[in-house]
Amino acid sequence: MSLGGFVRACHPGPTAVMTVLITMVGWSLGWHGWSLLGLASCVLVGQLSVGWSNDAHDARMDLAVGREAKPVVSGHASARVLWPSAICALVLSVALSWIVAGWVGGSFHVLALAAAWLYNLRLSRTAWSWLPYAVAFAALPPFLSYGAGNGAPPMWLLVVFPVIGVSAHLANALPDVETDRSGGLGGAAVHLGVRRTAVLCWVLLAVASVILAAEAVTGRWWFAVVVAAGYIAAALYARVSSSRAATFHALMGAVAVDVVVLVVVGA
């Protein structure tokens, strides 16, 4: 067990991205000062619990298929340490959720955490792997809006968030479809196959982009142009490159553009 392996087991990339994303959107909705710091802390600890529980739960499977990139497989982390760490982080994040966002707003973040843990423990290798992402991302707008004292979030946010979340989930799984299938592992992307997964990712992202562009154009029309340009550039990049990883990176780039515009529009 090493500190580096312990950190890598939390999935530092997605953990950082989700923490920054939610904090940025929170700022645009009115979280400032100490409340913003509390929000970031709450989300960070929650994401740590999700990452550690994921690696702890998948430890046996990762060992069986020899995924050397996983710290549990390489011997730099242990499930016996990750499990209590994940549970402690979960309890702390739940408490922070209600402290920083109140009972109503905080409960939506607790729902998002429950969905993420359901994915880790039960649904990640089934055709329903997309569902926890839809639920968790749909819970984020009311968490942030009620927590900031703004009441219910606008309907378009409740649509855009889960659509982007499911698209990102499928895009993230896309590069590993063949590996997972050969290893007997499931998941929505494995059930759909490479081609249908890629098409569905682009369709979902197009839906989210159109909704976001329509919302943006009511006040600042050039934001809609940015959303459209980001989507077209990503699609062209994926078209030119034959690499499946390129498709994933293109999708993530388009999502990043949508998120930036989402934050600016919210502000």
What pLDDT, on a 0 to 100 scale, did the predictor assign at position 247?
Answer: 76
- pLDDT value of residue 242: 64
Tokens matching residue 242: 């034959």
Q: What are phi and psi of 128, to 5 degrees?
A: -95, 15
pLDDT in tens, the chain (267 residues): 677 777 888 888 889 988 998 999 999 899 999 999 999 999 999 999 999 999 888 877 767 666 667 787 777 778 888 999 999 999 999 999 999 999 999 999 999 999 999 999 999 989 999 999 999 999 999 999 999 999 999 998 999 999 989 998 998 888 777 777 776 777 888 889 888 998 898 899 899 888 888 876 666 677 778 888 888 888 888 878 766 677 777 877 887 888 787 777 665
Q: For tokens 């929000």, what's the residue?
A: 39
CATH class of this structure's domain 154-267: mainly alpha
Backbone angles phi, psi at 184, to 5 degrees: 75, 20
Question: What is the model's pLDDT at position 66?
Answer: 67
Rg of the chain over all Cα atoms, to the nearest angstrom: 18
Query: How confident is the model at residue 221, as a pLDDT?
Result: 72
- Domain boundaries in the chain? 1-142, 154-267
* pLDDT at residue number 41: 97
Dihedral sign, Cα of residue 152, residue 120, residue 41, residue 168: negative
Return the axis-axis angle of helices 79-118 and 130-147, rounded to nearest 10°.
80
Q: Are 31 and 148 in contact (CB under 8 A)?
A: yes
The predicted structure's pLDDT at residue 78: 82
DSSP 5-64: HHHHTT-HHHHHHHHHHHHHHHHHTT--HHHHHHHHHHHHHHHHHHHHHHHHHTHHHHHH
Which pLDDT belongs to residue 219? 60
Buried b (16+ CB within 10 A) or exposed e, 208-219: bbebbbebbeee
Beta-carbon contacts of 19 under 8 Å, excluding residues fewer than 6 positions away, are 40, 43, 44, 47
